[in-house]
Amino acid sequence: MADWAPIAKEYDPLKAGSIDGTDEEPHDRAIWRAMLARYVPNKGVTGDPHLTLFVARLNLQTTEEKLKEVFSRYGDIRKIRLVRDLVTGFSKGYAFIEYKEERALLKAHRDANRLVIDQHEIFVDFELERTLKGWIPRRLGGGFGGKKESGQLRFGGRDRPFRKPINLPNMKNDFYGEGSSEKRNWSREGARDWRTRDRDHERSRDKRWPERERSWAWGDSERDRDSKEERSRGRERKDRDRKDRDRDRSRDRDSKKQRDDEKHR
């Protein structure tokens, strides 16, 4: 736990499946698949991985020309690779952009994330396949991110960093900027995202707290509810008994009247 950080420094499928990176048992079958996978990065991919951005959640209609128009504002682009289906040729919704300079790469990584292109909010991160040790892609049960509907959420990336474990003591490490400049470049953004998310979570909790207090103040305790239900059931029993007694009296009166009528005949 001493080297904990919200952004994964090395890919571990078991930790990536944990909200705070501390799980010890896989909780879905995809994690088992990722742990058993022996993935080798595609050797046919060329270019410098340390100058390459991963761009996802693209509109399927977005073209290479549109990506070049948007991302060239951050610096000179060496290559754009929009991933397409081998059979249909249609876009798969993600691309890789290689810059000529590291300065342009860092600027695009910082400013282009959550940019809207063709009515789609995009996601931007560094390329991880060739730079993060142990990387397993999403199709094999790994990756970062994911949707709640799939039940395969992954943590430790820029989009969904690890949450701070409850029992983690306060400590300083390279994640907060005491390390080399290279580490700071790769981790500062994650730190900002993580701290902002933590702060937003605290604010939302503070907002919900008064509402929760009001609901507790206005609501009844479980004992009060039980006593109310008992009183209500008691009243219902009394009403039924009273109705039964009235019905019996009515029957007695009817039978007495009938006997009197028969006498007078």
Answer yes or no: do 72 and 118 share one domain: yes
CATH number of the domain to which 76 belongs: 3.30.70.330
Asked whether the predicted pLDDT for residue 184 surpasses 90, the reply is: no
Q: pLDDT for 66-87, tens place per residue?
A: 999 999 999 999 999 999 999 9
Residues 19 and 66 in one domain: no
pLDDT score at 179: 41
Q: What pLDDT, in 10s, does the model give residues 111-142?
A: 999 999 999 999 999 999 999 999 999 999 99
Q: Is the distance from CB of 120 to CB of 59 less than 8 angstroms?
A: yes
Is the full-model pTM beyond 0.75? no
Specify the pLDDT at position 251. Answer: 76
Give the pLDDT confidence score for residue 258 in this predicted structure: 74
H or E stretch at 44:
none
Cα first-last separation, the chain = 104
Band of pLDDT at residue 174, cut at 50, 70 and 90: very low
Domain span holding position 77: 47-133
What's the pLDDT score for residue 146?
A: 87
Nearest 5°: the CA angle 73, 64, 139 is: 110
Query: 82-86, 148-152, 250-254: which has the minimum mean pLDDT?
Result: 250-254
> Are the beta carbons of 53 and 109 closer than 8 angstroms?
yes
Nearest one of 141, 118, 119, 103 to 16, comparing CA atoms: 141
**pLDDT for 41:** 86
Please tell me whether residues 107 and 33 are part of one structural domain.
no
259 assigned to some structural domain: no
Based on the structure, what is the number of domains in the chain? 2
**How would residue 169 be classed by pLDDT, with cut points 50, 70 and 90?**
low
Q: Same structural domain for residues 126 and 145?
A: no
Please report whether residue 146 resides in a domain: yes
Q: Would residue 63 count as lying in a domain?
A: yes
What pLDDT is attached to residue 200? Answer: 59
Q: What is the average pLDDT across 51-65?
A: 96
- Nearest Cα neighbor of 193 from 124, 130, 247, 135 is 124
Report the distance separating Cα 187 and Cα 5, nearest Å: 9
User: 31-53, pLDDT tens digit by residue?
Assistant: 999 999 999 888 888 899 999 99
Q: Is residue 122 domain-resident?
A: yes
Residues 176-214 as b/e (b if ≥16 CB within 10 A, e otherwise) read eeeeeeebbebbebbbebbeeeeeeeeeeeeeeeeeeee
Task: Transcribe 98-137 into DSSP letters.
Answer: EESSHHHHHHHHHHSTT-EETTEE-EEEE--TTTSTT---
**Is residue 215's pLDDT more than 70?**
no
Instruction: With cut-offs at 50, 70 and 90, classify the pLDDT of residue 1.
Output: low
Of 73-77, 107-111, 237-241, the least confident = 237-241
